[in-house]
Amino acid sequence: EAGVAQSPRYKIIEKRQSVAFWCNPISGHATLYWYQQILGQGPKLLIQFQNNGVVDDSQLPKDRFSAERLKGVDSTLKIQPAKLEDSAVYLCASSLDDRVREQYFGPGTRLTVT
């Protein structure tokens, strides 16, 4: 079974630029999560999708971050404009549905904002 795929793996941008990350969850997984992991901290949930609907985006900085999950499969997370404090690893995870507690993570995208 293929795992969660993410791209790109690394990205370096200047502040005020925009960036987008892509995630493909495990096949058949209805729930998709985007997390932000700042160096030395645990992952923090940004947004959770159930199929193509948002169920929790309470910690997403909506003035600059946006995410979508068209057709309930792939997802894209965008930052525009980026700030220095957005430097982090952006992790995508998926689970079978929102009642199944096990979440499976992708390798992450390491973003550096200069």
Partner 1 sequence: QKEVEQDPGPLSVPEGAIVSLNCTYSNSAFQYFMWYRQYSRKGPELLMYTYSSGNKEDGRFTAQVDKSSKYISLFIRDSQPSDSATYLCAMSSSGGYNKLIFGAGTRLAVHP
Q: Does 107 bind partner 1 (CB under 8 A)?
A: yes
Q: With 0-12 CB in 10 A as exposed, 13-18 as middle and 19+ as buried, what is 91?
A: buried
Nearer to partner 1, 106 or 111 (CB): 106
Interface with partner 1 (CB under 8 A), residue from 24, 103, 111, 113 = 103
**8 DSSP assignment:** -
Peptide bond into 43 cis (omega under 30): no
Q: With 0-12 CB in 10 A as exposed, 13-18 as middle and 19+ as buried, what is 72?
A: middle
Kindly identify the residues of this chain, within the stretch 12-41, that bind partner 1 according to CB under 8 A. 31, 40-41
Q: Does 63 bind partner 1 (CB under 8 A)?
A: no
Give which of 31, 35, 17, 32 is closest to 80, Cα–Cα.
17
- Stretch of 15-23, 66-74, 76-84, 106-114 lying at the interface with partner 1 (CB under 8 A): 106-114
Q: Does 102 bind partner 1 (CB under 8 A)?
A: yes
Nearest approach in angstroms of CB 53 to partner 1 is: 11
Residues that bind partner 1 (CB under 8 A): 4, 31, 40-45, 48, 50, 55-56, 91, 93, 95, 98-108, 110
